[in-house]
Amino acid sequence: MTATTVTAPAPGAGTASKQPAAGGAGAGRLRTILAPVLLGVVALLLWQLAVVVFDIKPFIVPAPLSIGGEFGTNIATVVAGAVVTGGNALVGLVIGGIVGIVFAILAALVRVVDELSVAIVAALAVIPIVALAPVLYTMFGAGAETARQLVAAIAVFIPVYINTLRGLRQVRPVHRDLLHVYAASAWQMTRTVTVPGALPFIFTGLRIASSLAVISALIAEYFGGPVGGLGKSITSAASSSNYNLAWAYVLGAILVGLVFYCVTLAIEMFATRHYRPTS
Amino acid sequence: MSEAPAASATQPVTATDVAAAVQVTGVDKVFVGKKKATVTALENIDLTVAPGEFVSLIGPSGCGKSTLLRLIADLDTPSTGSVTVFGKTARQARIDQEYGIAFQQAGLLPWRTVTGNIELPLELHKVGSAARKARSAELLALVGLSDFAESYPDQLSGGMQQRVAIARALAESPRLLLMDEPFGALDEMTRERMQTELVKITAETGAAVVFVTHSIPEAVYLSNRVVVMSPRPGRIRDILTVSLGSAAERNEQLRENEAFFENVSKVRELLHGEAPVGVRGVETR
Ligand SMILES: Nc1ncnc2c1ncn2[C@@H]1O[C@H](COP(=O)(O)OP(=O)(O)OP(=O)(O)O)[C@@H](O)[C@H]1O
Ligand SMILES: [Mg+2]
């Protein structure tokens, strides 16, 4: 993944327009939102139709309406579970994100750190992180959420680190020259040009990581630890043959993932709103 | 001793007594590319710019104008020869912030407002925030962008961005300005206004300027001397001394002036490589 998703097409350089054309952008945005929503509605309708027409049993796949009904009646426990799982994911996202960014800055500044971390990051990227969960539960005690948060943090660290480091290496030559002209120190260069310039990349990393954080925190629950989260609720509902309820929790997990993704996307769009390439 | 500055201004400037603003001696620049392919960008360049003097570099695209400017700015080092700025090595002059520079690209930081961009050098050199505010307001007025202080570069046209870059170059009132086609992106009217402003600024501050341009009238209007360069490998073909009077006399009327057109055609002849027979003010090299 690169930051291509955040760099809008080149603006009409040389036009004196103060503000981007709001009308066109608004219509475009509406269409990008409307299209997937319509597709989703159509898919749900077909799904419902298929379940009714072919008389599919709930343990294979329940109808969306029954899932929705179950979701509505159990909204309190779904929300409680979402708070637990989402909380773990958030802690993991914040810790993994900060560590990933700080490490990437160190690696960009100090060559030794970069060389040392290549091996560590490669190893971390290869390990299926959730496989660490059972080990971490014994380390931190099965009664604490720490193991899950740590799993999420490690999962977040990798994309954030890799994207940030790539962004830190994309300094525009004219900016490098400028800071050289000002006889700026390495730290001044990092603070005023390198890190701000890498923001689109950092946010791309965080956006990928946000979904990973939710998935990791959720799956880590399958391997033990306290009850109450969405992951544990899915397994216990499924094992007591309450398939509609299990799917209602799955729906909850999907919504948590969506919220994480959309919030990071919104922050990204705000923070990089002026980053269109200028002349 | 009160007449000392006046006296020094009329003294012939040599490297030994009053240091030249820029002294380029016997400079070659050879770029070594991949597979050892070499490009000779500059060959045997000798150039002296006196303090307060306005010198333009003009020549066909790719003749090494930007490269020469980069050597003076210590953004690159010559393959042979030496560059000194106010008697110091180019490196020392850069560290001492002896010059301000405006690049061919505006090179603004997109995440900073116009004010933030102009204040960047001041901020890096630990100027207090009140002094920074005052200076940036002054410079914004100068380049006619006071209404855009809090705008971001992506909200400005190319020409407006270039004006911000010029304001940034002026921020620390340097004794030497290096400018690489700073008006290239401007429309003709803004361009002429900025030229007039630049003449005024340099007259007020007494700054020396090395100015790269593609425009012959621009070079003639602005300069004390026009350095005409030949296509690759870049050499100095000739240096034309423009005698159109002091900066104070260079106003809009000058553009209609007979002497102005004479100088324009002289530069044009030099650029096209025809022997300029019998023209005055040409230093034959
Ligand atoms: N970093 C570099 N590596 C290799 N060759 C270079 C480098 N910089 C410049 N050159 C070469 O040196 C020559 C002079 O380039 P330069 O940018 O100084 O030209 P210029 O006179 O400024 O042209 P223009 O008017 O188009 O800006 C060109 O042939 C260019 O290809
Ligand atoms: Mg150039």
Q: Is B41 a pocket residue for ligand 1 (Cβ < 6 Å)? A: yes
Q: Whose CA is nearest to atom 7 of ligand 1?
A: B31
| Residue of chain B whose alpha carbon sits nearest to that of A179 | B121
Q: Taking the mean position of all CA atoms in its chain, how far away is CA B202?
A: 11
| Residue of chain B whose alpha carbon sits nearest to that of A181 | B94
Cα separation, B204 vs B175, in Å, equals 11
First to last CA, chain A: 25
Q: Which of A219, A209, A85 is nearest to A154 (CA)?
A: A209
Nearest CB partner across the interface for A278, out of B95, B101, B153: B153
Tell me if B105 and A181 make a contact (CB, 8 A cut-off): no
Q: What is the DSSP letter of B177?
A: E
Give me ligand 1 centre to Cα B37, in Å. 14
The count of residues in chain B is 285
Domain range annotation of chain B: 1-98+215-285
User: Residue B232 above 80 pLDDT?
Assistant: no
Q: What is the DSSP letter of A171?
A: -
Q: Is B63 a pocket residue for ligand 1 (Cβ < 6 Å)? A: yes
Confidence label for A1 from pLDDT (cuts 50, 70 and 90)? very low
What residues does the ion ligand 2 have nearby, CB within 5 Å?
A: B 66
pLDDT for A102-120, tens place per residue?
Answer: 999 999 888 888 888 888 8
Given this model, what pLDDT does residue A226 score? 86
Q: Which of B264, B270, B185 is nearest to A15 (CA)?
A: B185
Within 8 A of B185 by CB-CB distance, chain A residues are 14, 279
Q: Which of A204, A228, A231 is nearest to A220 (CA)?
A: A231
Starting from the CA of residue B62, give the closest ligand. Answer: 1
Q: Which of A262, A252, A276 is nearest to A85 (CA)?
A: A252
Q: Which amino acid is at A249?
A: Y
B101 CB within 8 Å of a chain A CB: yes
**3-class DSSP assignment, residue A66:** helix
| Residue of chain B whose alpha carbon sits nearest to that of A183 | B95
Paired sense of beta strands B236-241 and B282-283, if any:
antiparallel
Q: Which two tokens stand for residue B145?
A: 């962008």
Q: Taking the mean position of all CA atoms in its chain, how far away is CA A184?
A: 35
Q: Which amino acid is at A159?
A: P
Chain B interface, best mutation among A178, A188, A268, by max B CB count within 10 A? A178
Q: Is B61 a pocket residue for ligand 1 (Cβ < 6 Å)? A: yes
Nearest CB partner across the interface for B110, out of A178, A184, A274: A274
Confidence label for B11 from pLDDT (cuts 50, 70 and 90)? very low
Tell me if B103 and A188 make a contact (CB, 8 A cut-off): no
Cα separation, A165 vs A229, in Å, equals 34
Within 8 A of A13 by CB-CB distance, chain B residues are 157-158
Of all residues in chain A, the percent with pLDDT exceeding 70 is 89
Q: Which two tokens stand for residue B117?
A: 């961009």
Given this model, what pLDDT does residue B37 score? 81
β-partners of residue B212 are B57, B180
Instruction: Give residues 122 to 141 of A whose Cβ lies within 8 Å of B.
Output: none
Among B34, B42, B67, residue to substitute to test ligand 1 (most atoms within 8 Å of Cβ): B67
What is the number of other CB atoms lying within 10 angstroms of the CB of residue B146? 13
Least confident of A35-49, A111-125, B240-254: B240-254
Q: Taking the mean position of all CA atoms in its chain, how far away is CA B197?
A: 14
Tell me if B75 and A193 make a contact (CB, 8 A cut-off): no
Q: Which amino acid is at B171?
A: A
Reported as type and span, the H/E element at residue B24 is: strand B22-32
- Tokens 């929300």 correspond to what residue? A79
Contacts of A11 (CB under 8 A, 6+ apart): A20, A276, A277, A278, B154
Give me ligand 2 centre to Cα A278, in Å. 18
For chain B, helix, strand, coil in percent to 5 are 40, 25, 35
Cα separation, B59 vs B73, in Å, equals 20
B47 CB within 8 Å of a chain A CB: no
Of all residues in chain A, the percent with pLDDT exceeding 90 is 43
CA atoms within 13 A on the CB side of A260: 30
Reported as type and span, the H/E element at residue B39 is: strand B38-49
Confidence label for B6 from pLDDT (cuts 50, 70 and 90)? very low
Q: Name which residue leads in pLDDT, B192 or B252.
A: B192
User: Residue B144 above 80 pLDDT?
Assistant: yes
Q: Is B67 a pocket residue for ligand 1 (Cβ < 6 Å)? A: yes
For every residue of B43-66, DSSP letters joined together read EEEEEEE-TT-EEEEE-STTSSHH
What is the number of other CB atoms lying within 10 angstroms of the CB of residue B218? 23
Given this model, what pLDDT does residue A176 score? 92
Nearest CB partner across the interface for B124, out of A11, A177, A188: A188
β-partners of residue B83 are B24
What is the number of other CB atoms lying within 10 angstroms of the CB of residue B277? 6
Mean pLDDT of B132-136: 93
Q: Which two tokens stand for residue A19?
A: 């503000």
Confidence label for A9 from pLDDT (cuts 50, 70 and 90)? very low
B110 CB within 8 Å of a chain A CB: yes
β-partners of residue B124 are none
**Cβ contacts from A onto B, under 8 A:** 76
Confidence label for A26 from pLDDT (cuts 50, 70 and 90)? low
Q: What does the angle CA A247 – CA A151 – CA A155 come to, to the nearest 5 degrees?
A: 90
B94 CB within 8 Å of a chain A CB: yes
Q: Assess if residue A211 is contained within a domain.
A: yes
Q: Whose CA is nearest to atom 9 of ligand 1?
A: B67
| Total of domains in chain A | 1
Q: Name which residue leads in pLDDT, B235 or A28.
A: B235
Counting from 1 in the atom list of ligand 1, the atom nearest the Cα of B232 is 29
Tell me if B157 and A14 make a contact (CB, 8 A cut-off): yes
**3-class DSSP assignment, residue B274:** coil
**3-class DSSP assignment, residue A164:** helix
Q: Assess if residue A170 is contained within a domain.
A: yes
Q: What is this model's ipTM? A: 0.83
Whole-angstrom CA distances from A197 to A114, A193, A275 are 19, 6, 9
From its phi and psi, is residue B87 left (phi > 0), alpha (psi between -120 and 50) or beta?
Answer: left
Q: Whose CA is nearest to atom 16 of ligand 1?
A: B64
Rounded to the nearest 10°, the torsion over CA B126, B132, B135, B138 is: 160
What is the number of other CB atoms lying within 10 angstroms of the CB of residue B11? 10
Q: What does the angle CA A23 – CA A42 – CA A259 come to, to the nearest 5 degrees?
A: 65
Whole-angstrom CA distances from A29 to A22, A41, A68 are 10, 19, 28
Q: Which of B40, B184, B200 is nearest to A13 (CA)?
A: B184
Contact assessment for residue A42 and residue A222, using Cβ atoms and an 8 Å cutoff: no
Nearest CA-CA distance, residue B62 and chain A, Å: 18
Chain A interface, best mutation among B76, B105, B119, B126, by max A CB count within 10 A? B105
Nearest CA-CA distance, residue A271 and chain B, Å: 9
A224 CB within 8 Å of a chain B CB: no
Paired sense of beta strands B88-89 and B225-229, if any:
unpaired
Mean pLDDT of A243-261: 91
Tell me if A182 and B161 make a contact (CB, 8 A cut-off): no
- CATH class entry, domain B1-98+215-285: alpha beta
* DSSP alpha helix (H) spans, chain B: 4-10, 65-72, 90-95, 114-124, 129-142, 158-170, 188-205, 216-222, 258-271
3-state SS, B111-143, equals: CCCHHHHHHHHHHHCCCCHHHHHHHHHHHHHHC
Q: Which of A4, A178, A138, A71 is nearest to B124 (CA)?
A: A178
Give me ligand 2 centre to Cα B160, in Å. 20
Of all residues in chain B, the percent with pLDDT exceeding 70 is 87
Given this model, what pLDDT does residue A19 score? 40
Given this model, what pLDDT does residue A114 score? 82
Mean pLDDT of B245-266: 74
Confidence label for A277 from pLDDT (cuts 50, 70 and 90)? low
User: Residue B114 above 60 pLDDT?
Assistant: yes
**3-class DSSP assignment, residue B42:** strand
**CATH number of the domain to which A262 belongs:** 1.10.3720.10
